[in-house]
Chain A
Amino acid sequence: QKEVEQDPGPLSVPEGAIVSLNCTYSNSAFQYFMWYRQYSRKGPELLMYTYSSGNKEDGRFTAQVDKSSKYISLFIRDSQPSDSATYLCAMSGQGAQKLVFGQGTRLTINP
């Protein structure tokens, strides 16, 4: 069983839709939960990170962590074509030194 599972998609939605991206994990030692965005031929960029359970909001983006279910989500409100990218979840039990990534979900927002 993979430590982190993420549906690779692809996921295609119309502009303005609410997007939900999810990851599940098996390692209960994970304490830090990250979402990265990766445009084509670019490196991943950190969108948000959360420590332990709870919600975190940043503009149109909301990250949720449910440690009891080992499930994390990223919601994108009022999605824009510029949000089209691959979204990677990542997790760690001990800081930035040891990140475990999901496969990434390829998202396309259609104008």
Chain B
Amino acid sequence: GAVVSQHPSWVICKSGTSVKIECRSLDFQATTMFWYRQFPKQSLMLMATSNEGSKATYEQGVEKDKFLINHASLTLSTLTVTSAHPEDSSFYICSAIMGQGFEKLFFGSGTQLSVL
């Protein structure tokens, strides 16, 4: 299957700092990328959907000013957690889709964020 690379795989930061997570589709152009968050013992929750060159669409309850998403190209989307606090500590995972269909949706390996 296609490869979606997510970096870094884990990050520890101090409260108040910003953290950037990258999501790249390595061997295909992604029409849309998605960002999910997973707290311990909870399900993956969709945070936002981003299309190249346009503003991201955020799910209800997700602060767009705190979770900045930039989708600069068909192969790269970034999620920046601004002024991170301990309650932002979570597992963040991206996915990318080429075209339509569930078999064309591929996930990154995720980023574990720990905010001290």
Closest residue of A by beta carbon distance from B106: A43
Interface residues of B, count at CB 8 A: 27
CA distance A41 to B9 in the complex (A): 8
A42 within 8 A of B: yes
Most chain-A Cβ atoms within 10 A of its Cβ — which of B4, B44, B103, B107?
A: B44
Chain B residues 65 to 116 lying within 8 A of chain A, measured CB to CB, are 93, 95, 97, 100-110
**What 1/0 flags go to A39-70 for Cβ under 8 Å of B?**
00111111001000000000000000000000
Q: Select from chain A the residue with minimum beta-carbon distance to B3.
A: A43
Q: B residues bordering A, Cβ < 8 Å?
A: 1, 4, 6, 9, 32, 36, 41-46, 49, 93, 95, 97, 100-110
20 pairs of residues in contact across A and B, judged by CB atoms under 8 Å: A2-B43, A6-B43, A8-B41, A32-B102, A41-B109, A42-B109, A43-B6, A43-B107, A43-B108, A44-B93, A46-B102, A46-B105, A49-B102, A95-B100, A96-B105, A98-B46, A100-B46, A101-B36, A101-B45, A102-B43
Chain A interface size, as a band, is 20 to 34
Give the number of residue pairs across the A-B interface with Cβ within 8 Å. Answer: 56
Interface of A is mostly: loop
Smallest CB separation, A72 vs chain B (Å)? 14
Question: A43 → chain B, closest Cβ, in Å?
Answer: 3
Where the two chains meet, the residues of A that have a C-beta atom closer than 8 Å to any C-beta of B are 2, 4, 6, 8, 32, 34, 41-46, 49, 88, 95-104
For the complex of A and B, list the 9 residue pairs with the smallest distance between their C-beta atoms, beginning with the closest.
A43-B107, A101-B44, A101-B43, A96-B105, A49-B102, A103-B43, A44-B107, A43-B109, A96-B102
